[in-house]
Amino acid sequence: MDIFCIDGPVQVSGTIRVNGSKNASLPIMAAGILGAGRSVFKSLPFLSDISVFSELLGQLGCKVGREQNGDFFVDSSSIDNPFGDYDIVRRMRASVCILGPLLARCGRAEVSMPGGCAIGVRPINLHLRGLRELGAEINLKNGYIVAEAPRGLEGKEIFMGGAFGSTVLGTANILMAAVLAKGRTVIESAACEPEIVDLANCLNKMGAKIRGIGSPRLIIEGVQGLEPVEYGVIPDRIEAGTFMVAAAITGGELRIVNCRLNDMMAVVDKLRGAGVSVEPAENGCVVTRDGNVNNSDVNTLPYPGFPTDLQAQFMALLSLAKGNSVIIEKVFPDRFMHVAELNRMSANLRKEGSAVIVSGVDKLIAAPVMASDLRASAALVLAALAAEGTTVINRVYHIDRGYERIEERLNEVGARITRQSI
């Protein structure tokens, strides 16, 4: 198991490049199932989540791998085993998004029911309801979802809103099922996240007929079949936001390239409110902070609201603000595993239900801490960059799921992080 030893405080300054989006890549890899043949996806990051998803596609019967230039290919000419094993799904919940495309392509899918995870219970009731609306028969058997549609799926008007708003992977699943359904499907209260826009654009390039992309009302005219595709995924807005906070929390000056500010308006707005300068620059932005961090209140919401995937990182930043802030988690109300760890680093955080009251402190102080999930780990790395002393972060495999070689990339802009195997 690897640990990070992070010496602080440092200022991160220089240029850093954002990789392709993990959360766009995973459903787009699943879309490869729909176009029988060899699809090529560009800019997929080198992450453990991508490797796990590759393994899953391989088990279905796809041939998958990297070209010499790093492009990723999925050859789905033959899918002889529409089965998502518990052993893989328990390692990565996003595996559940093979359900829709498998059902559309094979008329049958058996996929392990995902369990809870460090960020909450995470039900998939909306995924299943949507697929049932399209005519699938779905039964739960020995922890597996057994979905069948031997005569194909039929288009329908489907409402996909739940108690916490829209669902990202639920929308992806229904969208990938609906593209091959007979007739018209309308998905109302669809997720509007840029990753869903990217998936829909990819599907249209494969021959799907999707309108309303980027809006909460997706209209899909079913087609007979899709073609394999060559497609490049969007940059990772959560990685970009994490780097923005790195500049902000350390008072450095970071030029962030391959970053689409238009996808990040809520984040940029909150950073500016906290006293951080974010200036558009060629293919990205420059982020600096000269004065104090201002206190600020943050509510996480589905897109275009402030993303839950940056909540933990912002909490690290606001820990050093002048005054008190309130952070309310409206997407995953239990996503607060980082609170106790940040408090071990001398932050002053108090959890009240799905809110955290952040009383700003003058400085953070290094401590041994434990990574619990991907974004919580990122918050600990950010806090450690600003903290006095050497922070030791255990279980960094969580961070490797979503950030490629983060220590090397941050070290190139002034961080002092060493990875050690213990």
Would residue 117 show up in a list of annotated catalytic residues for this protein?
A: yes
Query: Would you state the structure tokens that stand for residue 136, as one six-digit string?
Result: 């699938």
Closest CA to 249 of 297, 299, 316: 316
Tell me if 105 contacts ligand EPU by CB under 6 A. Answer: no
Distance of CA 238 to CAs 158, 267, 313, 324, Å? Answer: 29, 10, 10, 25
Select the residue interacting with ligand EPU from 48, 164, 186, 390 (CB under 6 A).
Answer: 164
Instruction: Note the Cα 38 to chain centre separation in Å.
Output: 25
Tell me if 382 contacts ligand EPU by CB under 6 A. Answer: no
Q: Which stretch binds ligand EPU (CB under 6 A): 122-130, 148-156, 212-220, 355-363?
A: 122-130
Identity of the residue, 93 or 351, whose beta carbon is nearer to ligand EPU in the bound complex: 93
Site for ligand EPU in 169-208 (CB under 6 A): 169-170
In angstroms, what is the minimal distance from the CB of 232 to ligand EPU?
Answer: 18
Tell me the number of residues near ligand EPU by CB under 6 A. 23
d(CA 355, CA 357): 7
In angstroms, what is the minimal distance from the CB of 162 to ligand EPU?
Answer: 4
Tell me if 216 contacts ligand EPU by CB under 6 A. Answer: no
B/e letters for 340-370, b = 16+ CB within 10 Å, e = fewer, are ebbbbbbbebeeeebbbebebeeebebbebb
Tell me if 399 contacts ligand EPU by CB under 6 A. Answer: no
Tell me if 378 contacts ligand EPU by CB under 6 A. Answer: no
Residue 29, classified by CB atoms within 10 Å of its CB into exposed (0-12), middle (13-18) or buried (19+), is: buried
In angstroms, what is the minimal distance from the CB of 119 to ligand EPU?
Answer: 6
Site for ligand EPU in 3-32 (CB under 6 A): 23, 26
> Residues 106, 117, 202, 285: which is the catalytic one?
117
Select the residue interacting with ligand EPU from 18, 89, 168, 278 (CB under 6 A).
Answer: 168
Contacts of 352 (CB under 8 A, 6+ apart): none
Instruction: Note the Cα 393 to chain centre separation in Å.
Output: 22
Tell me if 94 contacts ligand EPU by CB under 6 A. Answer: yes
Contact (CB, 8 A) for 378 and 371 = no
Query: Would you state the structure tokens that stand for residue 99, as one six-digit string?
Result: 């359900």
Interface ranges with ligand EPU (CB under 6 A): 23, 26, 94, 122-127, 162-164, 167-170, 308-309, 331-332, 374-375, 402
Residues forming the active site: 117
